[in-house]
Structure 1
Amino acid sequence: MSDSAGPESTVPKSGSAKGRKTAGKDPGKAAARDDGAPRDAPKRNPREAAVEALMRLAAEQPWNDIEIGDVAREADLTLAELREVYPSKGAILGGLARIIDRAVLAEDNSDLADEPARERLFDVLMRRLDAMTPYKPALRRISYALRGDPLSMLALNGVMLNSHRYMLAAAGIDTEGPLGRLKLQGLVIAFARVTETWLDDDDPALARTMARLDKEIRNGERFMERAEDARRLTAPFRALGRAFLDRRRSGRREAGSRDEDSDPAAAI
Structure 2
Amino acid sequence: MVKKPTNPKSSKKSAGKKAAGKAGAKAAGEPRRQVIDAAFALALEQGWRDLSLAEIAEAAGLPLSEVYPLFPSKQAILDGFSREVDAQMLAEGSEGLDSPARDRLFDMVMRRFDALQPYKEALGVILQDQLRDPLAACCGLGRLGRSMAATLEAAGFSTTGCRGVLRVKGLAAIYLSTVRVWLRDDSEDMAATMAHLDKQLSRIDNLVGRLKSYRPGRDRSGHAAA
Short-chain TM bin: 0.7 to 0.9
Matched, 1:83 2:103: no
- 2:51 alignment counterpart: 66
AA at the equivalent of 2:148? H
Deviation per residue, 1:122-149 (Å, 9 max, x gap): 0010011000011111001111111222
Higher relative contact order (CA 8 A, sep 6+): 2
Deviation at 1:44, TM superposition (A): 2.5
Q: Which amino acid aligns with 1:158?
A: G
Name structure 2 gaps, 5 residues minimum. 1-27, 210-226
Give the total of aligned pairs: 182
The amino acid across from 1:61 in the alignment is Q
1:131 corresponds to which letter in structure 2?
Answer: A
Contact 2:49-2:129 within 8 A present in 1 as well: yes
2:138 equivalent among 144, 154, 160 = 154
CA distance in 2, matches of 1:90, 1:118: 32
**Residue of structure 2 in register with 1:215 after alignment:** 199
Amino acid at match of 2:145: L
> Residue 97 of structure 1 aligns to which amino acid in structure 2?
S
Q: For residue 171 of structure 1, what is the aligned residue in structure 2?
A: 155
Task: Tell me what 1:5 maps to.
Answer: none
Q: How does 1:23-102 map to 2 (within 5 A)?
A: 44-102=29-87
Shift of 1:202: 0.6
Question: How far did 1:210 drift?
Answer: 0.9
The partner residue of 1:200 within 184, 187, 196 is: 184
C-alpha deviation, 1:165, in angstroms: 1.2
Preserved CA contact (<8 Å) 2:159 2:168 = yes
Deviation of the 1:199 alpha carbon: 0.7
Aligned-pair identity in percent equals 39
TM-superposed deviation, 1:221: 2.2
Residue in structure 1 matched with residue 125 of structure 2 by the alignment: 141
TM-score (norm 2): 0.75
Q: What is the one-letter code of the residue matched to 2:201?
A: I
Separation in 2, partners of 1:202, 1:88: 32
Distance 1:194 1:182 in 2: 18
Q: Could you state the TM-score of these two structures normalised by the residue count of structure 1? A: 0.64
The separation in 1 between residues aligned to 2:163 and 2:153, in whole angstroms, is 15
Query: Cα gap change, 1:205/1:179 in structure 2, threshold over 3 Å: closer, same or farther?
Result: same
Q: Distance in 1 between matches of 2:203 and 2:134?
A: 25
Deviation at residue 108 of structure 1 after TM alignment? 2.6
> Per-residue displacement from partner, 1:169-226 (whole Å, max 9, x unpaired)?
111111113221121122122211111110111111222211211122122224667x
User: Is residue 116 from structure 1 mapped to residue 76 from structure 2 by the alignment?
Assistant: no
Amino acid at match of 1:185: K
1:128 matched to 2:112? The reply is yes
Pair 1:187 & 2:171 matched: yes
SS at match of 1:55: helix
Give the equivalent residue in structure 2 for 1:245: none
Partner in structure 2 of residue 106 of structure 1:
91
Matches of 2:131 and 2:98, distance apart in 1 = 39
Classify the secondary structure of the residue corresponding to 1:173: coil
Q: 5+ unaligned residues in a row in structure 1: which ranges?
A: 1-42, 226-268
SS of aligned partner of 1:63: coil
Whole-angstrom CA distance in 1 between matches of 2:116 and 2:189: 15
Larger radius of gyration: 1
**How far is 1:75 from its partner?**
1.5
